[in-house]
Amino acid sequence: MSKILDAFLNENLEALRDQGLYNEIDAVEGANGPMIQVNGKQLINLSSNNYLGLATNEELKQVAKKAIDKYGVGAGAVRTINGTMDLHVLLEEKLAEFKGTESAISYQSGFNCNMAAISAVMDKNDAILSDQLNHASIIDGCRLSKAKIIAYNHSDMDDLRAKAKEAKESGLYNKIMVITDGVFSMDGDIAKLPEIVEIAKEFDLITYVDDAHGSGVTGKGKGTVKHFGLEKEIDFQIGTLSKAIGVVGGYVAGKKNLIDWLKVRSRPFLFSTAVTPGDVAAITRALQMIMDSTELHDKLWENGDYLKAGLKKLGFNIGASETPITPCIIGDEKLTQQFSKRLVEEGVYAKAIVFPTVPKGTGRVRNMPTAAHTKEMLDNALAIYEKVGRELGVI
């Protein structure tokens, strides 16, 4: 290894460890369900984005197996050569139905969606109004586009309106886009989409919502745009297929001409092999299950409300979450890491979230209750939280 590279890596890794910012990655020994095994120990899992428990659903496993038997384990090529199977077409039709749009396109990940879609439409002659707490993939997608990035204060509609007005009246930009997460994953709050749409109409802004943590969770499962009844007002609906949907991949949903454009100009679609047949089949079935019944959605919210109430009663700072995402905000990074470590030792797998994922001084343990958790699991988790919280002086 280069001496310069070796010195750079060692120095900076050590600095991260000293600051409590180095994240140890654990291997889960088996399925990622409400209970997981790590280092031979059974733990209550509160770190998964598997909101509806579909990642381990038996019906979806059988659907995936049948698709593998018929289509093989891979698509074999990029979509524009011969990697588009009838399975992919059916999935995209189902995604459009699910999101209430004319059309949809699927990608290999939610991160790829933001890298693909933003840079395919926006360029150096444009501007993007971006919520300060938007996901890293949105930030990177904006950077890749080379558009002027104008950050507005988190969910501050006065700030958004002022900056939209200034950008519009400057005459400097051909197009202006406003981008927001639908549900903010670190705090669990929901974007003010009605107000954003109002401002977008006033200043002729393109609207873009990344609903990675809303699809399957809000709007009776249809997502945050559906929650507010704004399907016809949002230009881009983005989401992942790896969280509530339980598999892997991402999508963009919108008008047909938008999707047609992305199929010929978005680079991850053009230059990367399609999602595998087994995954596509499982996703399609999962979407239909969510559309057919709200049972899993309702159970998720019941469990989320139950855990929130329990943690709040114990005295933890759970922020202002409006969704099942339940942060326990500790503050100090080292204490947050210590808190998470002790939870694991006692039987709860809840990972520390620290800078750069959240601002310095706002370290937290983020809890993700799912539809698959039982009340007994949640009660056990709350008892452990109380023990560790009192031990470390958090409560």
Catalytic residues: 185, 213, 243
CA gyration radius for the chain?
A: 22
Phi (first) and psi of residue 266, to 5 degrees:
-95, 120
- Token look-up 């249809």 returns 222
E strands in the chain: 35-38, 41-45, 103-107, 127-131, 148-152, 176-181, 206-210, 236-240, 250-254, 326-331, 348-349, 352-353, 363-367
**Residue 57, Ramachandran bin (φ over 0: left; ψ between -120 and 50: alpha; else beta):** beta
- Could you give phi then psi for residue 50, rounded to 5 degrees? -80, 60
Calculate the alpha carbon distances from 298 to 264, 366, 372, 377 in Å.
39, 21, 11, 18
Query: Sign of the C-alpha dihedral, residues 112, 196, 298, 38?
Result: positive
